[in-house]
Amino acid sequence: MNFDALTIVYILEIVVGGLMVGIGVHFVPVGGAPAAMAQATGIGTGTVQLAAGSGLTGLLAAGLMMSVTDNIWPILASGAVGAMIMMDATMLTGGWIYAYAVGAPFASAKVNYDPITGYSQPPYVAPGTVGQGIPTVCYVSGTIGALMGGIGGAMIYYPLMMTNHNPSLSALFAIGIFLVNAVLASWNIQGTIEGFHDPKFKRWPKAFRSCLVATLILALVAVTITGGA
Amino acid sequence: MDALSMGLVAAMGALATVAGASEDIESDIGSQSNPNSQVQLAAQVGNPHRIYNKAISGEPPANALWATTAAVVAYTLITKFAMPALFAIAIGASVAALFNGVFSTSAYFGRSASQRRFNQWIYLDIVRYTTTSIMAHAWITAFCITCIAYIQTAILTPHHPFPMPVIALIWGLTVGAIGSSVGDIHYGGEREFQWRLFGQGLNTMLSGQIVRKAEAGLRNSIDNAWFCTKLGGPLTGLGFGLTVFLDNWRTTVFDPVTQAGLAIGMGLFFVIIMNLYNFYVETSIRKKYGPYPGYKGDIAA
């Protein structure tokens, strides 16, 4: 293969995509297993699983868009929108269970007032728990996280597709690079985070550095695989 | 947009809704995923139980495995043996259900046996009649997701460029993520702990104190499925159905070649509506339920 200027651009795009995924995971409000018992604020599942679910839904949308155009902007936008739809549908229906089945009002234990709505939080935190449900700030943060994850996934897929012109190979490699970055970010936040208002969010530079190194190595490998197409 | 495409998108939405519901109920019967932490803990804090215990992995990878297995088998039968798609997908889903049965049984035996020191028994009757229910639900999930993948790759225009198994892998991951985020709360937040004050999450002090008695006799996982079918399952289905339907609706109604901007704009519109709806839910339940009575802090409600 030729290692020309275009290849370097592709490598940079993959790296930027990986970084978007790594930082985007920090925005997604996940409460892990405790949230499934309405014991912690956020979505009751693991960081990587939710980020992968939304980012890869975005990848499907981006893949469909890339089959009809080579213009990068609609591909990125379509990926972002697909991921946001998945994340928002999940948070909305999950919120209904907290609201109408568990019967608990949404509350964050990390801030006294919701930065977006200004609603007070501590009086609504159930005794013996660290918040529950998905308050507006977490919902908006999750949407931003999905936006970044969707763009990131599409941005990894696009250069791979331009290099090897094989959708299945590109998709699988994009899924792999996506998961590596999501797992690195998940370690950084130690499993649970409420969103951009959470003190843990300030740790993102560490994830940035590790994702940069990991994605750079993966990008170098990825662009050399030209596939059988 | 043509009538056939619109019908197909509607069918995909319906299949996704069924897949989401069956996925959640499968995980509730098997007690997989997040709430299983309490089932695991129960025996350790002196509450041996008759709940099935099969935390094979997180729900997304598990369901990705079932869906991909079904799709790979179906794809092979369709392409190499020219079998009709519906039969091929049904056979694929059956193979996936068999995989599920093997994993479930070994997980139940392994996990229960490892808790012998806590007096947790292995109940063979539970294995006999619960495993088949789990497999049946896994079959429905795998069948529906493989059908969606087939429609996307072979019938719906523009055809999706990813091969059927990759699409099944991604939808499997997504349905697992949604089931784990939505339906599990109904099982973990409500069904596992019913003798505490209503209207709040699990108090940390009650960890592991799961309900072990049923309406009649001892509670088992089929009782849990009966309860979770009322809300957790359907809402999981709604979440996954919304994802599949809305995402494909916008690229079917608006031609992605000539109206890409409109397709993206419509998606953004859905996102904004959902954000506003969540804000409405938050505001209305704060008014309806009010603050917790025991709160003694300075911040006014």
User: CA nearest A140 in B: which residue?
Assistant: B275
Q: How confident is the model at residue B142, as a pLDDT?
A: 96
- Do residue A90 and residue B192 have CB atoms under 8 angstroms apart? no
Q: Are B19 and B240 in contact (CB under 8 A)?
A: yes
Q: How many CA atoms lie within 13 A of B118 on its CB side?
A: 19
Span A179-188, pLDDT tens digits: 999 999 989 9
Can you tell me the distance from the alpha carbon of B102 to that of A68, in angstroms, rounded to the nearest whole number?
Answer: 42
* pLDDT surpasses 50 at B220: yes
CB contact under 8 A, B270 and A88: yes
- Structure confidence at residue A229 (pLDDT): 46
Q: What SS3 state is found at B50?
A: strand
Position A177: which residue type? Answer: I
Q: Cα–Cα distance between A134 and A95 in angstroms, integer?
A: 6
Buried/exposed code over A94-130 (b: 16+ C-beta within 10 A; e: otherwise): bbbbbbebbbbbbbbbbbeebeeeebbbbbbbbeebb
In a domain, residue A14? The reply is no
Give a yes or no: residue A110 inside a domain.
yes
Q: Report yes or no on B295 lying in a domain.
A: no
B262 domain-assigned: no
Chain B contact set for A101 (CB, 8 A): 185-186, 189-190, 231-232
Residue A120 has its nearest CB partner, among B34, B264, B299, at B299
What pLDDT digit, counting tens, does each position of B82-105 carry? 999 999 999 999 999 999 999 999
Contact B180 A97 (CB under 8 A): no
Placement of tokens 């843990």 in the chain: A200
| Integer Cα distance of A95 and A99 in angstroms | 6
**A6 found inside a domain:** no
Q: What average pLDDT does the segment B27-40 reach?
A: 89
For residue B144, the surrounding DSSP H or E stretch is: helix B124-150
- Residue at A228 is within a domain: no
pLDDT category at B158 given cuts 50, 70, 90 is confident
For residue B298, count CB atoms less than 10 angstroms from its CB and return exposed for 0-12, middle for 13-18, buried for 19 or more: exposed
Does residue B297 fall inside a structural domain? no
- Beta-carbon separation of B297 and A39 below 8 A: no
Coil, strand, or helix at residue B65?
A: helix
Task: Indicate yes or no: CB of A49 within 8 angstroms of CB of B173.
Answer: yes
Asked whether the beta carbons of A25 and A51 are under 8 A apart, the reply is: yes
Distance CA B193, CA A128 (A): 14
Whole-number mean pLDDT of chain A? 90
Q: Is the pLDDT assigned to residue A55 strictly greater than 70?
A: yes
Distance from CA of A134 to the nearest CA of B (A): 8
pLDDT tens by residue, A170-210 = 999 999 999 999 999 989 988 789 989 888 889 899 999 99
Range of the domain at B225: 3-253
Report d(CA B139, CA B136) in Å as an integer: 5
Domain count, chain A: 1
- B59 has a chain A CB within 8 A of its CB: yes
Q: What is the mean pLDDT of residues B38-56?
A: 90
End-to-end CA distance of chain B: 51
Instruction: Closest CB to B161: pick one of A53, A67, A78.
Output: A67
Which residues sit opposite A113 in a β-bridge?
A120
pLDDT of residue A191: 79
Distance CA B244, CA B224 (A): 27
Question: What would the mean pLDDT of B73-81 be, rounded to a whole number?
Answer: 96
Region of B149 (left: φ > 0; alpha: ψ -120 to 50; beta: rest) is alpha
User: What's the pLDDT band for A1 if we cut at 50, 70, 90?
Assistant: low
pLDDT for the residue numbered A228: 54
Interchain pair B189, A36: CB under 8 A: yes
Q: With a cut of 90, say whether residue B193 has pLDDT above it.
A: no
- pLDDT at position A119 is 92
pLDDT value at position B257?
83
Lowest-pLDDT range of A19-33, A92-106, B202-216: B202-216
**Residue A107: which H helix or E strand, with range?**
strand A107-108
pLDDT at residue number A49: 86
Q: Among A78, A55, A153, which Cα is nearest to B263's?
A: A78
Residues 6 or more apart in contact with residue A17 via CB below 8 angstroms: A151, A152, A153, A154, A155, A156, A157, A177, A215
Domain hosting residue A116, numbered range = 21-30+41-222
Q: Rounded to whole angstroms, how far apart are CA atoms B93 and B70?
A: 5
Nearest residue in chain B measured CA to CA from A40: B201
Contact B52, B110 (CB under 8 A): no
- Residue B114, C-beta contacts closer than 8 angstroms, at least 6 positions apart: none
Look at residue A9 and tell me if it is in a domain: no
What confidence score (pLDDT) does residue B1 get? Answer: 66
Q: Is residue B190 part of a domain?
A: yes
* pLDDT tens profile B130-141: 999 999 999 999
Contact A85 B267 (CB under 8 A): yes
Contacts of A28 by beta carbon, 8 Å cutoff, 6+ apart:
A43, A47, A50, A51, A54, A87, A141, A142, A145, A146, A149, A193, A195
Asked, for residue B219, whether it belongs to a domain, the answer is yes
Counted domains in chain B: 1
Q: Does B148 contact A at CB distance below 8 Å?
A: no
Residue A151 belongs to some domain of the structure: yes
